[in-house]
Each structure stands twice: as structure tokens, then as C-alpha cells.
Amino acid sequence: MPLIDDSVIKLAIHEHLEFRHDLTVVSTIVDEPFEYGRIIRDEAGYLNAIIEENDATKEIKLIHEINTGIYIIDNRFLVPTLKKIKNDNAKKEYYLTDIVKIMKEEGYLVGTYLLEKSYKAMGVNDLYTLSKAETILRHNINKALMRSGVAMINPDTITIGQNVVIDENVVIHPNTYITGNSHIANGAVIGPNTEIHNSVIGENVICKHSLVYNSEVKKNSVVGPFAHLRDGAIIGENNRIGNFVEVKKSQTGDTFKASHLAYIGDAEIGDNVNFGCGSITVNYDGVNKYKTIIGNDVFVGCNSNLIAPIKIEDNAIIAAGSTVDKNVPHGSLAIARAYQINKENYIRKTKKIY
């Protein structure tokens, strides 16, 4: 019963103590009581017994009040009563529910607490009932968040974990999943089509069509579309992590830009750095992973490979198309390209075009 909460238990215990019951059974009324034990009451309306489905007559099967399986009882009464349970029933099993009849016969005060919200007592025995329980949980979480000031566009498509903290003035778009111990700060815009797990999203961050795992995005940054942050990525303030950019186990400074098609792994990057399209940190040699360190005010040209371990100092420039495997000093321009050779009439000769 995944939907049972502390309020149900508290109310049931309160009624148990107020009416001085020796045993209190939590019951509820359902539309489809099949397979549940039925609550049998006497002429005065008091609990008399619980009859399981396999032992029920046609008349008893018409009863819609069922046993939820929650009992409040003092162990002083429970242990001796359990020893008196017999298996003289259709399934030859020892039913815990038989304690009701036994205790009644021995003069104990037995009663019920009727749970009005029957959905809270629903069991999960297959994937269908699991989906029903998830729908109810999702609805309750989203309702509470929206009432606290979180805007959700089409909330039926949004899944928020129970431990997630979301500040007011956050906007969440459809098909978004936020789970684990995540925190979404004031003014952030999340989604659509975004997954965030165990991550911190700072104030006024925009994160759309992206995956964020075990990472942090600081305020005023833009992530996505189609970005992937993972394994301890820390994105600084006012960053731009754009289309098809992956950041893994790396930290970026403020005002960093990687607008499209880049991989940044095991790197430490300073402020005001521009990472060109198609550029990557080459952090893995097939056996070990190495670190790339990039200083402040560095420009990495398009389609560059930074072969770690390597250090690019402040104000350096990496020329487009370079594969750099040596440290680049402060204020330097690194060019690491093969010389261009043009072979004239090459196509004519190889394809015999005249």
C-alpha cells in the first residue's frame, strides 16, 4: 500500500485510543472488493469478523467494505491470540484476520477505523495497479507544488520525485522528469522533454530538451536543447551549454560558452572561455583518463582536439582545426595543423575525366 501516509496512521491510532479498543482494524469501502477480506458487522454495526474471499458466500461477496490489512493492537494481546489461530478454512492457511473473531469471543473490545479515501489503501500487485498508484502520487505532488507557486504546463505529463525541492516562480514544461534530491531555484524554466536527477539548478536557469545527472547549473545559465550534463558537472554563472554539448565531471567558470557539438570531460575551465563547434577534450587514452585545465579568456577554435593532460593558460587562442598535445602559454596562439597540399587535376587523373 504505497499511498498510505502518516495522516492515516495518526487518525487510526487516535480513534483506537479514544474508544479504548483492544484491536482496531482499518477498513475502507471500494467499488471492486474482489480478492479482499470482507468486513462482517453485527446487527448493531460493530465489527464481528473478517471473511476472506475464498471462504465467502455469495452474500458476503456483495459486501464492499474491506480489510486494508492495517491493525492497531497491543503486543500483550496479539502474541497469545496468534497461538490460537487455526487453519480450518478453504485454503488451509493461517489467517491473521482470524484474530478479530478470537478476540471478540474472549471479550476484548474490537472496532474499526473507516478510511474514507479508499485509494490510499490500494494494493500494488501488477504493473497496472502500479501505474494507478504512480498517477495518484504524481497528481498529489504536482498539486502541492502548483499551490506553492510553481507553474506547470500540462502537469499530467510532468513527474516530480517526492524529495525534490522546487522554489516558487519556476516554470516546468511538458514531458519533464525531476527526481532524487534535486533542487530547482527561483525563476528557473525547465523543459520541455527534460530529465533532471540529483542535481541543483540555479536561479533563472533555462534548461530544455536536455539530460542533467548528478550535476549543478549556476544562475542565469542556459542549457540545451539536447545537452547532457553528468557525473559531477558544475556549470558556472551566465553559461551557454548549447546543442549537442556533453559535459562530464568538469567545472566551468562564469560566462563560458560551448554553443554546439562539443565534448568536455574531466576539465577545469576558467571565466570568459569560448569553446568552438566540434571541439573536444581528449581525456581518455584507452586505459586512463586525464585532466584538461583551461584558464580565463581563452578561445578554442572550431574542430579542435585538446589532448589531455594539458594546460591552456589565460588569454590563449587555439586555432580552428588544431590537435594540441602540448601546454599553451599565456597569451599564445596555438596552431597545430598539417600543411595543406593541393594536387591539381587529381580528379581528372583518377577518374579519367577529359
Q: Supply the pLDDT for residue 158.
A: 98
| Annotated catalytic residue, options 16, 173, 197, 260 | 260
Answer yes or no: 330 catalytic: no
Cα 178–Cα 181–Cα 182 angle in degrees, nearest 5: 45
Q: Calculate ∠ Cα 284-287-290, nearest 5°.
A: 40
pLDDT of 29 reads 95
Per-residue pLDDT of the chain (354 residues; tens, 9 = 90+): 888 989 999 999 999 999 999 999 999 999 989 889 999 998 888 899 999 998 999 999 999 999 999 999 988 899 999 999 999 888 888 999 999 999 999 999 999 999 999 999 888 889 998 999 999 999 999 999 999 999 999 999 999 999 999 999 999 999 999 999 999 999 999 999 999 999 999 999 999 999 999 999 999 999 999 999 999 999 999 999 999 999 999 999 999 999 999 999 999 999 999 999 999 999 999 999 999 999 999 999 999 999 999 999 999 999 999 999 999 999 999 999 988 888 888 877 666 655
* pTM as predicted: 0.84
Question: Pairing state of beta strands 65-73 and 23-29?
Answer: antiparallel
Domains 124-249 and 251-354 share a fold: yes
The model's pLDDT over 257-297, given as tens digits with 9 standing for 90+, comes to: 999 999 999 999 999 999 999 999 999 999 999 999 999 99
Return the CATH superfamily for domain 6-121.
Spore Coat Polysaccharide Biosynthesis Protein SpsA; Chain A (3.90.550.10)
The cell for 27 is 477498513
Domain boundaries 251-354, CATH class:
mainly beta
For 229, the 3-state DSSP assignment is strand
CA atoms of 165 and 200, how far apart (whole Å): 10
Annotated domain spans of the chain: 6-121, 124-249, 251-354
CATH of 124-249, one of 2.160.10.10, 3.90.1150.10, 3.40.50.150, 3.40.50.720: 2.160.10.10
Q: Are strands 23-29 and 257-265 parallel, antiparallel or unpaired?
A: unpaired
